[in-house]
A = this chain, B = another copy of it.
């Protein structure tokens, strides 16, 4: 994996604050496990509330964890006065997300002046055994001088 030097030495706190402002993360009990320059890991414990018709994690939740991990991996590298938006993401669902925990991690492939490209891997953990359940690739855009907080 590439070694990145973050522009903002306080990137960790900035990411944690932004994550905490995402009400949806609280609603689904998502936790920010790890944030490093160009890397992020988020996990979500299983609950019936976020399941699909077979009782597994819903694909929408899998997309959420893949996209959000990518967003914060990218955001860790950005200037402290920038905000971030997802341009697009593409997610392959690889095996049923059956288990007690969902873990998504993402790393930055390229941090560009405007656009950042990330890859995410999502794992389901069942009885402690971790299995790749989804993989994604995404594009993020840095909005300079744009407050990440609510308007």
Assess whether B54 is in contact with A59, with CB atoms less than 8 Å apart: no
Set of chain B residues within 8 Å of A65, measured between Cβ atoms: 60
Residue A58 at the B interface, CB < 8 A? yes
With A53-B149, A60-B24 already in contact, the answer to whether A137 and B139 are too (CB < 8 A) is: no
Q: How large is the interface on A (under 10, 10 to 19, 20 to 34, 35 or more residues)?
A: 35 or more
With A49-B27, A52-B24, A55-B150 already in contact, the answer to whether A117 and B92 are too (CB < 8 A) is: yes
Which of A50, A53, A87, A135 neighbours the largest number of chain B CB atoms within 10 Å of its CB?
A53
Q: Which A16-53 residues have C-beta < 8 A from chain B?
A: 18, 21-24, 27, 48-53
A51 vs B23: C-alpha distance when bound (angstroms): 6
- Copies per complex of this chain: 4
A97 CB to closest chain B CB (Å) equals 11
A28 CB to closest chain B CB (Å) equals 9
Assess whether A109 is in contact with B132, with CB atoms less than 8 Å apart: yes
A24's partner among B21, B61, B150 (CB-CB below 8 A) is B61
A110 vs B117: C-alpha distance when bound (angstroms): 21
Assess whether A53 is in contact with B21, with CB atoms less than 8 Å apart: yes
